[in-house]
Amino acid sequence: MLTAVAVAGFDTPTPIQQQAIPLALSGQDIMGLAQTGTGKTLAFGLPLMDHLMAETGRPAPKTAKALILAPTRELVNQIADSLRTLTRKSPLQVATVVGGQSINKQIATLNRGTDILVATPGRLIDLMDRRAVDLGAVRHLVLDEADQMLDMGFIHALRRIAPALGTPRQTMLFSATMPKQMEELSRAYLNNPARVQVAPPGKPIDKITQTIHFLEKPSKPERLRRILSKDADALTLVFARTKHGAEKLMKGLVKDGFNAASIHGNKSQGQRDRAIKAFRSGEITTLVATDVAARGIDIPGVSYVINYDLPEVPDNYVHRIGRTARAGREGEAIAFCSSEEVDLLHQIEKLMKVEIPVAEGTRPERTGKSGGKPARKRGGGGGNGGGNRGYGGGQGRGAKPQGAPGSAKPGRRRNRSRAA
């Protein structure tokens, strides 16, 4: 395993790995809090593999020895890919089950048994209902990005899954933010956990340069094109709020000659996988996404994250911009804010306890409104569109920051459906 770690290019542990790995090796339950992109996957993955390598015997049919739950298909695939890199020359098997793929193929895979099962909760429950999986042999449970699972309503799924797991077991919970419900989750499913925290909850990675552009919805397309044109070969991830908005934006960019693709809840798993693969290789340089991708893209080469629409859940801003400045690199996060999104910006800044420097326009006073009635959320979807009136003017990447502080009441969390 050490050889595999070295071959993969990991020579120095990150802070979360330094703190979490010894505790996990000792069998302790862990609540790990760290910024996205800081190496949480190996923080739980390496100790997990070490425990499993010490066990004898292959997993029985339909069983797994360890279960990792993650909220989205993209994150499940990213975790599994990272683990497979390190288990390639070992007897350990890693399997994934997610929605949007053939359930019959997943049943066939589970029939052989697996050491590590990485799953979205919704599809796992579907397989449990079909009696295609037996979780009684699971002695290691990992909840990755647990705050998003709470936000998406997965707590109900977890209440069904947890009683089916074996005991005693080690449980590790990892997240980039720390909503109040997390304490309740830890009390319910963790046994005297050690708390590992390497950065304040909600604080983005220090190597990300953030700026905000105050402009209205009609001005956003032109400003985006101007920014993209300044560094056409850089990998840029653009976040839109809705599935329809993401698709429309992507098609407009392609029509104007930009090398763009999109991923969102209306895309099939195959389409999403192909788009991410093309983005990772540089074949596609601009990827337009909804929050379905905020925690499932681990591509070190992403130079820019552009929040074309601000997210309605402040935590999602942290996860979005965490797609850049990964693996020790630097990155830039650019946000557009219309008059109807001003309160969303205040909520984001309150969560991070920082004020985002202004690159364009003038910071307005708080309006007391947050862009109309939010749409009902679904697993891969989004909410409503932005505003309509403009501030105009603009600069591209690298603008000098300016602006004055603001404050806001925290936004209310919205539950979203189980679908992943």
* Cβ neighbours for 48, distance < 8 A, ≥ 6 positions apart: 24, 66, 116, 140, 142
> Does residue 160 form part of some domain?
yes
Phi, psi of 213 (to 5 degrees): -110, 120
- Average pLDDT along the chain: 83
Q: Are residues 164 and 241 in the same domain?
A: no
Q: Looking at the DSSP assignment, which residues form a beta bridge with residue 141?
A: 67, 171
Q: Is 390 helix (H, G, I), strand (E, B) or coil?
A: coil
Residue where one domain finishes, among candidates 197, 224, 254: 197
Domain containing residue 36: CATH number: 3.40.50.300
Give the contacts of 239 (CB within 8 A, at least 6 positions apart).
Answer: 288, 289, 290, 291, 293, 294, 305, 306, 307, 308, 309, 311, 320
Kindly state whether residues 146 and 244 are assigned to the same domain.
no
Question: Does any domain span residue 328?
Answer: yes
Q: What total number of domains does the chain contain?
A: 2
- Same domain? For 355 and 273 the reply is yes
pLDDT tens sequence across 69-102: 998 888 899 899 999 999 988 999 999 999 888 9
Does residue 222 sit in the same domain as residue 188?
no
Question: Within a domain: residue 398?
Answer: no
Domain identity same for 36 and 174? yes
Looking at residue 14, its pLDDT comes to 87
Q: For residue 381, is it within any domain?
A: no
Q: CA–CA separation, 271 vs 340, rounded Å? A: 33
- What is the spatial distance between Cα 270 and Cα 101, in angstroms, rounded to a whole number? 8
Beta-carbon count within 10 A of 310 CB: 27
**Per the domain annotation, does 368 fall within a domain?**
no
What distances in angstroms separate CA 269 from CA 252, 292, 297, 380, one per listed residue? 23, 12, 14, 11
Token representation of residue 130: 């079909």
| pLDDT value for 84 | 94
Residue 209 CA to residue 218 CA, distance in Å, equals 26
Read off the pTM. 0.65
* Number of alpha carbons in the 13 Å side-chain half-sphere of residue 336: 32
Same domain, 162 and 237: no
Which of 167, 197, 227 marks a domain boundary?
Answer: 197
Long-range contact set of residues 117-120: C-beta below 8 Å, sequence gap at least 24: 117/64, 117/66, 117/67, 117/68, 118/68, 118/70, 118/76, 118/79, 118/80, 118/83, 118/94, 119/67, 119/68, 119/69, 119/70, 119/76, 120/69, 120/70, 120/71, 120/72, 120/73, 120/76, 120/420
Note the pLDDT of residue 199: 64
Query: In the chain, which residues have pLDDT < 50?
Result: 369-420
Domain residues for 39? 2-197
Name the token pair of 313.
Answer: 């859940």
Q: Which residues contact 32 (CB under 8 A, 6 or more apart)?
A: 16, 20, 40, 43, 44, 172, 173, 174, 175, 196, 197
Residues 247 and 326 in one domain: yes
Same domain, 224 and 82: no
222 and 299 both lie in a single domain: yes
d(Cα 103, Cα 417) in Å, to the nearest integer?
20
Q: Which of 325, 360, 395 is the endpoint of a domain? A: 360
pLDDT value at position 391?
32
Task: Tell me, yes or no, whether 135 and 260 share the same domain.
Answer: no
Q: Where are the alpha helices (DSSP H) in 101-230?
A: 103-111, 121-129, 146-151, 155-161, 181-189, 220-230
Q: What is the DSSP letter of 197?
A: E
Are the C-beta atoms of 186 and 173 separated by less than 8 Å?
Answer: yes
Q: Are 69 and 119 in contact (CB under 8 A)?
A: yes
